[in-house]
Amino acid sequence: MIIAKADVVVTSPGRNFVTLRLETEDGLVGWGDATVNGRELAVVSYLRDHVVPLLAGRDAGRIEDTWQFLYRGAYWRRGPITMAAIAAVDMALWDIKGKAAGMPVYQLLGGASRNGLLAYGHASGRDLPEIFDSVREHLSQGYRAIRVQAAVPGLRSIYGIAANTAEDGVRYDHEPAQRGALPAEEDWDTRSYLRHLPTVFEAVRAEFGPGLPLLHDAHHRLTPIQAAKLAKSLEPYDLFWLEDVTPAENPEALRPVRQHSVTPLAIGEVFNTVWDYQQLVREQLIDYVRGAVTHMGGITPLKKTLEYAAQYQIKSGMHGPTDISPVGMAAAMHLGLSIHNFGIQEYMKHDARTDAVFRQSFTWENGYLHPGDEPGLGVSLELDEAGKYPYQQAYLPYNRLADGTVHDW
């Protein structure tokens, strides 16, 4: 099983995706996701210029060794671009190993620890009637756990609100990174948000009852004491988790949040390695690990990270918005099915064009995902279909406060 060639495919069926294709001398093909939203071409260059030339001639069966070679051999360790590139190689090698063995990847990882993966979707709205409609729509699609994001009175547009009106166009549902030469500017006011959000959760809880798991994402915007205040004020509404309350760089910021509340905390969609989690896990400052297979360097290191977290009863909550390609989602599903400490999987459906580019074999039934039983990851990219959608420049939005200061988005 020698790697014969490696190619990078860039396609934009509604949004940009970067996918690595590995092929062995005996004709097995493996796919890996390397998409970093809004910075896609940097990973393309990292792969094409620095990784692809190293792969031909290597033994495709040596997944751990290849991972260590790419991680340690680069000398410049970590970082989103490097780790997404390594992740794509790792995923593609697991895909090949599964195909060679005639088994789905979850079998190679130890077999299923459960029948399916509880998944949550994204409800949102500008006011309570819109939010209730959005929650109902998600329930009717089978979701059994729902993230709720609400517009804040006085702010024009903020993270996580699907804009479904004719004037705004549909933006967030499938494409948080907006196509165009420059990023969109959004606005932010923490005091208004902290006042408003508990009223939304009070209403949603009253409308949908005590049983429905509800989640919320603060998207890195609060100081430690503001985050503690939010976590405490949301306690009566029994959240499944509160995500990314403080910026990811400083693990210590979560200490005051822990000291003041029992709202479960999730963090890590922008993390790249186990080192980003080390203190958070050891000090039990979080309850869920949000890393994506695509951004944590692949299945190999995320499995190790989650096993470390398991020692502290911390569970998985892998990142799964539409900027994780179907290949990255499949990798998350195989890993989630096999580990003991699975918590929940984020699942935001891709649009029809993306589903036509990536042939997929996972199932979605009664609120549970399953990666399916095809050998490997169970996803393949249709090159002809992908070729119809050339790359388009796209940026994530950014934020300014009322006085013009740039804030965390």
> Please, which of residues 390-409 interact with ligand GCO by CB under 6 A?
396
Q: How far is the first Cα of the chain from the last one, in angstroms, to the nearest whole number?
A: 44
Residue 321 binds ligand GCO (CB under 6 A): yes
Residue 323 binds ligand GCO (CB under 6 A): yes
Rounded to whole angstroms, the Cα distance separating 48 from 28 reads 20
Q: Which of 23, 33, 40, 217 binds Mg ion (CB under 5 A)?
A: 217
Q: How far is residue 60 from each of residues 29, 63, 214, 328, 365, measured CA to CA in Å?
A: 11, 7, 42, 19, 34
Q: Are 178 and 169 in contact (CB under 8 A)?
A: no
In the complex with ligand GCO, the residue whose CB is nearer, 16 or 66, is 16
Q: Helices marked H in 74-144 — which ranges?
A: 80-101, 105-108, 128-140
**Catalytic residue among 122, 138, 219, 319, which?**
219
Residue 323 Cβ vs ligand GCO, minimum distance, rounded to whole Å: 5
Strand ranges, E, within 165-263: 178-179, 185-187, 214-217, 241-243
Mark whether 219 is an active-site residue. yes
19 DSSP assignment = E
- The encoded tokens of residue 407 equal 């804030």
> Please, which of residues 30-49 interact with ligand GCO by CB under 6 A?
37
Q: Which of 33, 90, 217, 287 binds ligand GCO (CB under 6 A)?
A: 217
| DSSP output for 145-168 | SEEEEE--TT-S--TT----STTT
- Binding partner of 37, given ligand GCO, Mg ion, none, CB within 5-8 angstroms per partner class: ligand GCO
Residue 181 Cβ vs Mg ion, minimum distance, rounded to whole Å: 26
Comparing every residue's Cβ against Mg ion, the nearest one is 217
In the complex with ligand GCO, the residue whose CB is nearer, 70 or 280, is 280
Residue 408 Cβ vs ligand GCO, minimum distance, rounded to whole Å: 12
- The interface region with ligand GCO, picked from 55-63, 163-171, 298-306, 317-325 by CB under 6 A, is 317-325
CA atoms within 13 A on the CB side of 236: 11
Q: Count of residues binding ligand GCO (CB under 6 A)?
A: 10
The pair phi, psi for residue 223, each rounded to 5°, is -80, 165
Q: How far is residue 312 from each of residues 275, 315, 336, 388, measured CA to CA in Å?
A: 16, 9, 17, 47
Residue 332 Cβ vs ligand GCO, minimum distance, rounded to whole Å: 12
Mark whether 159 is an active-site residue. yes
- The encoded tokens of residue 363 equal 């199932």
Q: Are 293 and 299 in contact (CB under 8 A)?
A: yes
Per-residue b or e along 116-142, where b marks 16 or more CB atoms closer than 10 Å to that residue's CB = bbbbbbbbbbbeeebbbebbeebbeee
**Catalytic residue among 46, 106, 143, 159, which?**
159
Q: Which of 40, 95, 269, 276 binds ligand GCO (CB under 6 A)?
A: 269
- The interface region with ligand GCO, picked from 99-107, 126-134, 296-304, 316-324 by CB under 6 A, is 316-324
Positions that interact with Mg ion (CB under 5 A): 217, 269
Positions that interact with ligand GCO (CB under 6 A): 37, 176, 217, 219, 269, 319, 321, 323, 346, 396
Catalytic residues, which ones? 159, 219
